Amino acid sequence: MSEERFVTQITPKSEDFSRWYIDLIRRAELADYAPMKGMMVIRPYGYAIWENIQKLLDRRIKATGHVNAYFPVFIPESFLRKEMEHLKGFAPEVAWVTHGGDDELEERLAVRPTSEAIIGFMYSKWIKSWRDLPVLINQWANVVRWEKVTRPFLRTTEFLWQEGHTAHETYEEAQEETIRILEMYREFVETELAIPVIHGRKTDREKFAGALATYAIEALMSDGKALQMGTSHNLGQHFAQVFNIRFEDRHQNLQYVWQTSWGVSTRLIGALVMSHGDDSGLVFPPQVAPIQIIIVPISVGNWKETVLPVAKELKDSLERAGLRVFLDDRTEYTPGWKFSEWEMRGVPLRLEIGPRDVKNNQVIAVRRENKDKIALDLTGIEQKVKELLAEIQKAIYEKALAFQKENTREVSTYEEFKSLIEDKRGFIKAFWCGAEECEAKIKEETMATIRVIPMDQEKGQKGRCLYCQKEAETVAVFARSY
């Protein structure tokens, strides 16, 4: 990321989507460029979104029996070397520590690109018997991957995430865990972020290095490109064999554990921007919005004596109801400026209150996602606002779902595929023979990849491979992606 001037205007979304995205993140103060190449500072307004995501997702993780822990950020090089496929998968992105102070280290330390290696070592110490299983641990942490091309939230040298790491007695238990987490991610993203996803298995070419199988949720951004929102990996016994994670089973025989790992990251914040934002700015679903309600008192006449006390009382009552509220009583800005500013910042609901509203015991409520205005009586307003926020959450999801459906197409010929991927983008469903050569050629020629092989494949379906036209039984979802 290069140093740029502070953004005062937002490029129209239809004119330049990439520029619009960067302008909006900086103008809305979600993040800013750090002085180190490829790194960002997550500003308070942006970090508040991450805190809401953490709270809502952590609740789900713990409800499924998982507990949080924390592992070191540094990993000995020998640990990564033990798992050569793992190292190969991350080698270009690994940052190395070679010195402690002025002293050269006896062994280089990798700055955590992911934690399978260090966690595998620790599990080998902790797991001795079937009675120790399952181990269900999650950690909230930072990760460093030395990316060559970066974009705030979507791909940065350092980012925040959660990573779950579990160990099980059998393959069946590990597979059940893998799919359970995938479904948890799907439900979370659709329910809380209001972003519809497709879920399924990654191809062997696209799976996580060292995994038996990788599953993912994929969302369609409003420019027609896909974004991988989260992954869940069945690691099999690969890491268990490398790090000798064995247990005495119920028949006193030594067995290797079966493992999983899974994670989502601050990339979800970028997805919120690209999925819901418009030319006026951000559009946040109420569930994760840093501020759910902005109260703007209309500053006319003796408003400080007549309007402001009512506005403050309204703020207090809504906060007591458990809502995130901000009262913008700044005198240096006009109400019109405030309307535009908070609209740009994506606050789901604006409550305007002026002298006439005070007289009529009401406020004017303005929805961010569709600009609709309605008058709300101040009596019992807490419940009315909660119901309105629920309507807004649903409306944002339904709009995104309609976009996904309109931009998901089926093709049978490669020419039609190439035309659609170039002109309209979106998700494209097509038969694939399963050959990596066909998958690679499609990517080389169109820049589109297989995002997932959907879970809901019809049994007995037959068609012709998109690329080679050989008989195929698998439908894959293709798209260009971030």
For 291-350, how does the pLDDT look when each residue is reduced to its tens digit (9 = 90+)? 999 999 999 989 999 999 999 999 999 999 999 999 999 999 999 999 999 999 999 999
Average pLDDT over residues 59-85: 93
105-113: average pLDDT: 96
> How far is the C-alpha of 65 from the C-alpha of 300, rounded, in Å?
55
pLDDT-derived band at 241 (thresholds 50, 70, 90) equals: very high
pLDDT number for residue 458? 84
Distance CA 293, CA 315 (A): 9
Q: Select from 370, 476, 335 the least CA-distant residue to 417.
A: 476
What is the per-residue pLDDT across 366-381, written as a single tens digit (0 to 9) for each?
A: 999 999 999 999 999 9
Q: What is the mean pLDDT of the chain?
A: 95
Phi and psi at residue 63, to the nearest 5°: -65, -20
For residues 138 and 59, membership in a common domain is answered with yes
Last residue of some domain: 326, 360, 389? 389
pTM for the full predicted model:
0.95
Q: Are residues 209 and 181 in the same domain?
A: yes
∠ Cα 4 9 10 (to 5°):
95
Average of pLDDT values for 288-293? Answer: 98
Is there a domain that residue 370 lies in? yes
Has residue 78 been placed in a domain? no
Q: Is residue 143 predicted with pLDDT exceeding 90? A: yes
Q: Is the pLDDT of residue 90 over 90?
A: no
pLDDT band at 276 (very low <50, low <70, confident <90, very high): very high
Report the CATH number at residue 253: 3.30.930.10
Quick one: pLDDT at residue 358?
97
Longest alpha-carbon distance in the chain: 84
On whether both 415 and 384 belong to a single domain, the answer is no
Contacts of residue 130, defined as CB under 8 A and 6 or more positions apart, other chains included, come to 169, 247, 248, 249, 250
Q: Are residues 269 and 305 both part of a single domain?
A: no
N residues, the chain: 482
For residues 168 and 256, membership in a common domain is answered with: yes
Tens digits of residue pLDDT in 195-240: 999 999 999 999 998 899 999 999 999 999 999 999 999 999 999 9
Residue at 83 is within a domain: no
Name the domain boundary from 251, 276, 301.
276
| Alpha-carbon span 102 to 22, nearest angstrom | 39
Contact, 56 vs 192, CB < 8 A?
yes
Burial tier of 92 (Cβ tally within 10 Å: 0-12, 13-18, 19+): exposed
- Structure confidence by residue, pLDDT tens digits, 150-179: 999 999 999 999 999 999 999 999 999 999
Indicate if the pLDDT at residue 1 is higher than 90: no
- Do the domain assignments include residue 355? yes
CATH number for the domain harbouring residue 357:
3.40.50.800
The total domain count for the chain is 3
Instruction: Sort 417 into a burial class: Cβ within 10 Å, 0-12 / 13-18 / 19+.
Output: buried
Whether 286 is covered by a domain: the verdict is: no
pLDDT of residue 93: 85
Count how many Cα atoms sit within 13 Å of the Cα of residue 292 in the half-sphere of its side chain.
Answer: 22
- Determine the average pLDDT of the residues in 105-133: 96
For residue 228, the one-letter residue type is Q
Residue 9: inside a domain: no
What φ, ψ does residue 436 adopt, rounded to 5°?
-65, -30
Same domain membership, residue 260 and residue 325: no
User: Is residue 356 located within the same domain as residue 445?
Assistant: no
Q: Are 172 and 53 in contact (CB under 8 A)?
A: no
How confident is the model at residue 87, as a pLDDT?
59
H helices of 32-141, where? 44-63, 77-82, 84-90, 116-126
From 276, 307, 330, the end of a domain falls on 276
Tell whether 213 is covered by a domain: yes
Across the range 348-353, mean pLDDT stands at 98
Q: Residues 299, 267: one domain? A: no
Considering the domain architecture, whether residues 364 and 413 belong to the same structural domain is answered as no
Same domain, 147 and 205: yes
> Do β-strands 373-377 and 463-464 pair in parallel, antiparallel, or remain unpaired?
unpaired
Look at residue 457 and tell me whether its pLDDT is greater than 90: no
> pLDDT digits over 416-437, tens only?
999 999 999 999 999 999 999 9
Mean pLDDT, residues 106-126 taken together: 96
Q: Residue 442 sits in a domain of what CATH number?
A: 3.30.110.30
Q: How much is the pLDDT for 83?
A: 76
Q: Which are the contacts of 60, defined by CB distance < 8 A and separation ≥ 6?
A: 184, 187, 188
Asked if residue 72 has a cis previous peptide bond (ω within 30° of 0), the answer is no
The residue segments making up the domain with residue 366 are 293-389
**Same structural domain, 37 and 182:** yes
Same domain? 245 vs 181: yes
Detail the DSSP E strand segments found in 293-412: 293-297, 325-327, 349-353, 362-367, 373-377, 408-410
